Amino acid sequence: RPGENSFHNIDDPNCERRKKNSFVGLTNLGATCYVNTFLQVWFLNLELRQALYLCPSTCSDYMMGDGIQEEKDYEPQTICEHLQYLFALLQNSNRRYIDPSGFVKALGLDTGQQQDAQEFSKLFMSLLEDTLSKQKNPDVRNIVQQQFCGEYAYVTVCNQCGRESKLLSKFYELELNIQGHKQLTDCISEFLKEEKLEGDNRYFCENCQSKQNATRKIRLLSLPCTLNLQLMRFVFDRQTGHKKKLNTYIGFSEILDMEPYVEHKGGSYVYELSAVLIHRGVSAYSGHYIAHVKDPQSGEWYKFNDEDIEKMEGKKLQLGIEEDLAEPSKSQTRKPKCGKGTHCSRNAYMLVYRLQTQEKPNTTVQVPAFLQELVERDNSKFEEWCIEMAEMRKQSVDKGKAKHEEVKELYQRLPAGA
């Protein structure tokens, strides 16, 4: 007797349902799939999520006295509202994955053209800080500063008179050159390395009132709670006039002590790895983005790949499979051996480290009532859709079975010798 599936081509709507205790995925929107990886990393920053939930929302104008206006779909008006709503859905939706296209449109990103993922992260941070700086609540207003912002100084010393001049600069991420390096720590050391200003490149010293040989270097003054390290894989190739991807293996450890690199000693500078952003593919203009992110509450590692999310066994980061997927490049190098607590990758383009703290993160970030109401409304729509699809599936099966019986009966009526 044929199985039910042979009577219809309608998928089981329950395949679209979120499994218990799992995270929610995001629809792949083509060339902007790197946005999905950042969204999942930011969603799992509980302090940022909490602060965004505290933002006042125009959503209240959209609510009626007796709840939500039934006939109108909620349309977030600002970047903050888009993020709030997305985060609320990621937290409490019944769907296996949700669609972030409203957010991507609000940012004005072209889903048909692959932008630079590394540029996007910077652009978005400054946009978010700008938006939140107008908020009255200091916990909301300063969240980007508190979480992601550090400070360094460009220090130039005149070789003639020894005068030191400082130019202070904020950063949301450190951009590390990876060419010629094998380890993350080498990349950080190069970032802070002294350079000589000589010949045509000499420095005009205010004290000497003339151009002098000098040295310049970066000094790290303060580091944020969340340290974003960009591994500059996508570099401009002068010969072709295009960006190219460097498929160099870089080793990095799960624990990173930044104290040797910081100007002011004293204080805690030990970080632990919390996310690895991966670009699969050889070209800088195409490929696929995924994120390995650690859940701050359980300590479990998850692989976020658009709609699909996979929990890693044994609370361990596992990059192996990503590295095997890269197409062989001309400069085929063997993967170096990695010791315990260290990893090697030729596809990681951003590493996120979190400052190690004694206290566990606040495990309950509550979705505010106005957002929860919107999520419940979306969940009701989803449940209605499931019932509708199940009904269509049942009708299709019933029709198929009836047809099957009809054919069987015809066969039985045929003369034996036919």
Indicate which residues carry an active-site annotation. Answer: 33, 288
Tell me if 291 sits within 8 A of 277, measured CB to CB.
yes
Give me the residues paired with residue 98 across strands. Answer: 26
Tell me if 57 sits within 8 A of 84, measured CB to CB.
yes
Give me the residues paired with residue 234 across strands. Answer: 245
Estimate to the nearest angstrom the gap between the alpha carbon of 33 and the chain centroid.
10
Taking the alpha carbons at both ends of the chain, their separation in whole angstroms is 23
Tell me if 99 sits within 8 A of 36, measured CB to CB.
no
Give the alpha-carbon dihedral of 25, 27, 28, 33, to 10 degrees. Answer: -60
Q: Is 320 helix (H, G, I), strand (E, B) or coil?
A: helix
> 265 phi and psi, to 5 degrees?
-75, 170
Dump the DSSP string for 13-26.
GGGGBPPTT---EE
Give the alpha-carbon dihedral of 104, 372, 25, 355, to 10 degrees. Answer: 90
- Cα separation, 400 vs 251, in Å, equals 58
Nearest to 27 by CA among 106, 84, 123, 103: 103
Tell me if 381 sits within 8 A of 375, measured CB to CB.
no
Query: Which parts of 3-54 are beta strand (E)?
Result: 25-26
Give the alpha-carbon dihedral of 360, 364, 127, 237, to 10 degrees. Answer: 50
